[in-house]
Structure 1
């Protein structure tokens, strides 16, 4: 039998050839075909981009990485990654929902998901401030806010909560469950003010001023021996030769001047603290919005502050009957918006006061101005206090049902409904947060360990829509050691920057032990959060080929490349119609966590419903009972009638 090669040669030379089918049964024929097929395939591979695509699709086969995943280079300088499930459960204690009623240490839920057996698995991050990024429509309420309220309420820790409720839906969803868990539930309703708990933002200021004026009271003079009072702390030794001595606040003084100095220092401390708190409060009600020309808003601040201080001074004169019930923004507004006779009553109100009076000093900055300038100052003042023309709001701020001590003593939850269509009332919400924080700090400072007996969580939805809270960066720094935790929900980082400025916003962000991304279309926010997650180093491959030589040439090169752990574009698509409840979390000292929350409307463990509204008492504001008449005051102090004339003293 002739060889296959000879047959091919005869055919190429034009000689006739009759096909012998038995050739296909010989192994040499199949071997020759295989060699030919291999060379054809090799030429195709070398003919352009085919090798590149092949390596991309088969990188696991060629270069050892797993299919569909980047070839990560370990041991590099930048090698961020997501936490594994084992690491997650190690760093963030894991519980099942049925066990929460016996869990005494709660925290921020970093995961709350139904498993395959329909059991709710929960992981907590203990004690931290948090910043949650969730744009409108991203599912932030169903993903994080609703689960957090339900899970905190389900534990045995009994942590207190203060929540902003822009739409009023949080109260409707959670109040019934919290009542069933033994919580005292309060509603501060800035929309329907007549069915709201009451809260006077000036009540704490009043109490501090009364401490200031009463600090010198209670001094006792003694003629007996100091040695008969061993429990008293002797400040300057025994009184000599039977000389009289004085006792004050558990201390014994042989030198009266020493005692008077201590009283003066104590009184000044009370006044300074009161003045600072009042200034912070007025700064929120009257923020500086025109940075280029702030003089008018600063003037409005000064006259509001002066009027508050003047009314506090009036409380020292029993003839004037300035009581705690009358020290409210209803009377402050009435005093400052009475423009009759070019503010005659207001100008007279500051007459007859000591030139050392802070009220007098502040008022001169405005009331001594020319008429046209005064009108400009007062126009801004009217605008800032305009919300207190609402009698319902005056009633809400005329007394106090909300006591900071209750949040420390028992599980308490307060929902603050804020009408999103009335921006002016957002300022009052910010004032409430400021005042409650300060009151809680005082409660904590009075305790031996300087911290609250239970956690208090501020859950602040739409935090970026609130006016600036003065010194918020200090609040978030100090609150940590007092068990006061702020959880702020913003639409983007730029929203936070717009309200607080980049410098303060950076301080706030750096003090948040947890940062969560749920969703945002703001590219700057996505880029910043992507950088926060870190980078990883991967191996990339490139190929080159030369076609023309017999065997062909193929060069494969490999190099390392740094890329984000998660791209900004991936963050923008984190939650969508097909997949919800997703979040990326960054915590201090850990790799980022890719986590999941079962949306609250899909979780059967969450018990939704509104409490019995009969438990909330309606309040009617009776203006005639709390009105403080400046004309009557001026008549008593200055002897002037309502028209400004001196009264006939000879009658």
Structure 2
């Protein structure tokens, strides 16, 4: 295992491309054993998904996540990492760059330093290819993630989804030659302004009448159009509430254009960090959307080359319990591994899964994660399930009895019985603590030794030390990050609604003049007055 200073570099300071990879395969690290001054690392190299259970302050990052990122980097596998607090990015991005990785960060904590990715990019690309069917499917998939599962009658969720999907297609299709308007911020404002009532009409009604039959938004808009006015209003209000996140200038700064292509993750050595504020869950729908899009795009790339990606992609989803539900996630887990995509989910308890997915889906997600890593949990149901997963074993039970009375000969007897016992009871599972962790797979479970990062060679590789040194490292690396966007700049809006609003106002004025003149005013053929 080589340290960064020993990795050969070219004149530009980047790692030489011909540098052989230290590891042939990487994976989630489950333990380490020191022997004669060397470290033997145990990691999961198979195409399987992993579920890691660790309550707050259980040490997930410093006993599992950082070591896994380093191992995968040394194996040259691509990474998609959700990163609350930006800690993982600060610690590992320079290490990955020295290994010749393209490192991108979508940073919702400090948007001015973020790379850019347009969430509508897959739909835009499909539209540019003329693939209307694919564009419609991608728009519906995106909407499914944004809206989430139905909380009541399906009519409300379906109506809201049809409105959002139709608006996305309108913004993308109608701005084929104006890419600066193809973003979710314009989707919000198009929906808001086109449904602003003027008199007894809305611009959206006029817009629909002028759509050609082949326009991809026409059929979806018709779903809401046939609903009663109050119901329709609820659809639009719910849709605007869902999209309100994209009215922020800082979010617009990140999502109005693209610096990179998601499909290249399956071909080149790339690492994508999705940096999220840890004090709120506002931006987790975007993280869920990114994961869903990545899966769909990488699946298409895998299908082009015989069903498997050129380079394996590893999703390290920290705080997965805060993600909004990912559409068809159980199916993604079922078939993803064979295509070269591994999902590694980090939860505080199983209760988080049940809150986001129904009982059947939560159970399927757990069963599709062939390896469980248990660090620590406080939830009784989680402890009980881990204990059940560990299984039982047969042990001996001894009984010894003695008889000693005044008028009889003293006697003793003993017996031995075989009995079944849980490998670890609920209370014993609860008592497991660092540096030990339980690893459960489809074969035999194991208690693994996985100390804090400070006791690994990776600590020096990453340029880290004690707590104060690490704080200074984070501070310095954050300071060195370039500012990429001025988040104060005005948002570029399509403003087509102004044309429709003026047209309706003109029609209303003509109607007023007609009534004032006793009906003797002539109107052009384009007038549409009710």
In the superposition, the TM-score normalised over structure 1's length comes to 0.69
Distance 1:303 1:194 in 2: 31
Instruction: Look up the SS of the partner of 2:159 in the other structure.
Output: helix
Matched, 1:119 2:38: yes
Root-mean-square deviation over aligned CA pairs: 2.9
1:151-170 aligned within 5 A: 151-153=71-73, 155=74, 157-170=75-88
Distance 1:169 1:289, change over 3 A: farther
Choose from 202, 220, 225 the match for 1:344: 202
1:482-521 aligned within 5 A: 482-521=339-378
Choose from 149, 155, 162 the match for 1:302: 162
1:324-343 aligned within 5 A: 324-338=179-193, 339-341=195-197
1:315-326 aligned within 5 A: 323-326=178-181
- Runs ≥4 in structure 1, deviation > 4 angstroms? 95-101, 354-358, 609-617, 621-626, 632-635, 641-651
Residue 49 (structure 2) aligns with: 129
8 Å CA contact 2:435–2:449 kept in 1: the answer is yes
**C-alpha displacement of 1:305:** 1.1
Deviations 1:467-490 (A, max 9, x none): 000011111122111211110001
Distance 1:585 1:642, change over 3 A: farther
8 Å CA contact 1:288–1:294 kept in 2: the answer is no
Residue 19 (structure 1) aligns with: none
Matched, 1:278 2:134: no
Choose from 496, 501, 511 the match for 1:630: 496
Distance 1:354 1:495 in 2: 46
Choose from 123, 145, 162 the match for 2:65: 145
8 Å CA contact 1:306–1:362 kept in 2: the answer is yes
Residue 179 (structure 1) aligns with: 97
Moved more, 364-373 or 496-505: 364-373
8 Å CA contact 1:143–1:600 kept in 2: the answer is yes
**C-alpha displacement of 1:101:** 5.0
Deviations 1:273-306 (A, max 9, x none): 332222111111111352x334333322111111
Residue 12 (structure 2) aligns with: none
Instruction: Look up the SS of the partner of 1:351 in the other structure.
Output: helix
Distance 2:455 2:507 in 1: 69
Residue 515 (structure 2) aligns with: none
8 Å CA contact 2:90–2:478 kept in 1: the answer is no
Matched, 1:394 2:248: no
Residue 407 (structure 1) aligns with: 265
Distance 1:205 1:623 in 2: 26
Residue 591 (structure 1) aligns with: 444
1:463-542 aligned within 5 A: 463-542=320-399
Moved more, 116-125 or 389-398: 116-125
Deviations 1:165-184 (A, max 9, x none): 11211111111211222211
**C-alpha displacement of 1:119:** 2.8
Deviations 1:372-394 (A, max 9, x none): 33332222122111101101101
Distance 1:206 1:435, change over 3 A: same
Distance 1:559 1:185, change over 3 A: same
8 Å CA contact 2:80–2:315 kept in 1: the answer is yes
Matched, 1:582 2:436: yes
Distance 1:102 1:209, change over 3 A: same
Distance 1:646 1:451 in 2: 63
Moved more, 129-138 or 345-354: 345-354
Residue 205 (structure 1) aligns with: 123
Distance 1:140 1:354, change over 3 A: same
Q: How many residues are paired up?
A: 482
8 Å CA contact 1:112–1:147 kept in 2: the answer is no
Matched, 1:618 2:474: no
Work out which of the two has the higher radius of gyration on C-alpha atoms and give 1 or 2.
1
Matched, 1:105 2:25: yes
Choose from 303, 314, 330 the match for 2:174: 314
Distance 2:505 2:494 in 1: 14
Distance 1:519 1:459 in 2: 19
Distance 2:228 2:22 in 1: 68
Residue 193 (structure 1) aligns with: 111
